[in-house]
Amino acid sequence: MGKSQQPQPENIPQHVAIIMDGNGRWALSRGKPRLAGHRAGTENLRRVIRASVEFGVKYLTIYAFSTENWGRPQAEIKGLMHIFENVIDKELDELHQEGVQLRHIGRLEKLAPKLRKKVLDAIKLTENNTRLVLNIAFNYGGRDEIIYAIQNMLKEGVAPEEVNIEMVNNHLFTVGTPDPDLVIRTSGELRTSNFLIWQSAYSEWYITPTYWPDFGKEEYAKALKTYTERDRRFGGVSDEHYD
Ligand code: FPP
């Protein structure tokens, strides 16, 4: 990639969140099984993590398995669990060396004890890394996350008048992570699919027809560049637009 196509540091989104969609259709269009699409998607994820470090993104959140994905055929669920385990086994050392801090959002309870332990160990190993925070949304749902926050506020005896945006933020799985500046969705679907529905209230969106396995560094750079050209108003109007 030429220097001129590299996203420039000013206005780089601090937090990018990605709905990695289209693995199945990518595979189907090549006459391959769906899991081959997820494997190709995993390869692409490596590229995008590396590019995130290179471009200076500080938080990357990826939607790897939703609370609704349990409705898929058993073989695909097993395959996705296996891929998650494999990613930790094969990539953890390098991610750690690169200064990536791994975090998980969602419910770990429903995962097999062996996988759960691997995730917790990976989180522990990388907890002091600061170059990039990689949030893996696995068994994650935005509505489930809001229920989790409400349940915990009730358990703690938070009074109704104490409930405000900050209080809710502090009870979400994403506590401590700034809201996503940019949400990317591949494969052209125009919906949020229960991803970071609270946190993305004012996120910018980049939606592309490209299937996830084909969304490489070049298009990532384009998405970041598009973001730098957006005028974020957060519902307000600046004085310069008023006469
Ligand atoms: C959506 O494509 C993708 C997923 C549900 C899984 C995403 C997983 C990866 C990219 C592998 C990396 C995983 C981990 C755990 C780090 P789809 O299957 O819905 O595609 P389709 O809409 O074309 O059928």
Which domains are assigned to the chain?
11-141+178-228 (3.40.1180.10)
Tokens 């699919």, residue located? 193
Structure confidence at residue 152 as a pLDDT band (50, 70, 90): very high
Name the residue with the closest Cα to ligand 1, atom 16.
84
The arithmetic mean of pLDDT across residues 161-166, rounded, is 98
pLDDT range class, residue 236, cuts 50, 70, 90: confident
- If one residue of 19, 20, 211 were mutated to test the ligand 1 pocket, choosing by the most ligand atoms within 8 A of its CB, it would be 20
Ligand 1 binding residues, C-beta < 6 A? 20-25, 38, 41-42, 45, 64, 69, 80, 83-84, 87, 136, 138, 187, 212
Q: Report the catalytic residues.
A: 21, 69
Residue bearing the bigger pLDDT, 48 or 243: 48
Helices (H), the chain: 23-28, 34-55, 74-97, 113-125, 142-155, 165-169, 217-228
- The whole-number average pLDDT for the span 131-147 is 98
Q: For residue 62, what are the β-bridge partners? A: 18, 136
This prediction has a pTM of 0.94
2-23 tens-digit pLDDT: 655 677 667 899 999 999 999 9
Query: Per-residue pLDDT tens for 119-133?
Result: 999 999 999 999 999
Length reported for the chain? 243
